């Protein structure tokens, strides 16, 4: 079995994503792997006016950057030795598969089965998209 050196975990504050995050921490500690935490600023949830307002987008991104650092700090406190964060923008599933994975080069993607926001999240379409299209192994936590 291939050693897992880099674990990518997607977070969005949903209950399933929090479970996925906790599992990713445990796995990273057990395998002495780097933990890469990602979150996506989803543009489909913005109104046209918000999307055009650079100050609004900058504020949303700044809040997300601050929030993802809380996840990083929790992982470090739980014993993960190497943690980094990546913020992406756009559709969550597509952004993680097409932008984050090529940038981070992880061995494993760990995600929750549902997302926090939007009707699509209720049906797990983001998790299904990532499981179908990611070029690496995907572990879906529920």
DSSP characters for the chain?
Answer: -PPP-EEEEE--S-HHHHHHHHHHHHHHHHHT-EEEEEEEE-GGGS-HHHHH-HHHHHHHHHHHHHHHHHHHHHHHHTT-S-EEEEEEES-HHHHIIIIIHHHH--SEEEEESS-SSHHHHHTTHHHHHHHHH-SSEEEEE-
Q: How far apart are CA 82 and CA 66, in angstroms?
A: 18
Q: What is the pTM of this model?
A: 0.84
Q: Which residue has the higher pLDDT, 52 or 9?
A: 9
CATH of the domain at 39: 3.40.50.620
pLDDT value for 36: 98
Q: Kindly indicate the confidence band of residue 115, based on its pLDDT and cuts at 50, 70 and 90.
A: low
The percentage of residues in the chain with a pLDDT greater than 90, rounded to a whole number, is 61
Residue 120 lies in a domain: yes
**Domain, as residue range, for 61:** 6-141
CB 4 within 8 A of CB 27: yes
Residue 31: exposed, middle, or buried by beta-carbon count in 10 A (0-12, 13-18, 19+)? Answer: middle
Q: How far apart are CA 115 and CA 63, in angstroms?
A: 18
Residue 1 lies in a domain: no
Residue 131 lies in a domain: yes
Q: Could you report the per-residue pLDDT of 51-95, keeping only the tens digit for each?
A: 444 444 444 668 888 999 999 999 999 999 999 999 998 888 999
Question: What total number of domains does the chain contain?
Answer: 1
């Amino acid at each position: 079995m291939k050693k897992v050196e880099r674990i990518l975990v997607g977070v969005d504050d949903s209950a399933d994503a929090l479970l996925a995050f906790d599992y990713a921490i445990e796995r990273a500690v057990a395998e002495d792997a780097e933990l890469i935490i990602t979150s996506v600023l989803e543009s489909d949830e913005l109104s046209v006016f918000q999307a055009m307002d650079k100050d609004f987008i900058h504020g949303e991104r700044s809040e997300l950057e601050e929030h993802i650092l809380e996840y990083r700090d929790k992982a470090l406190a739980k014993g993960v030795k190497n943690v980094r964060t990546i913020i992406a923008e756009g559709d969550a599933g597509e952004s993680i598969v097409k932008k984050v994975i090529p940038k981070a080069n992880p061995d494993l993607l760990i995600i929750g089965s549902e997302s926090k926001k939007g009707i699509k999240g209720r049906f797990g379409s983001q998790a299904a998209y990532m499981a179908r299209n990611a070029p690496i192994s995907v572990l879906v936590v529920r």
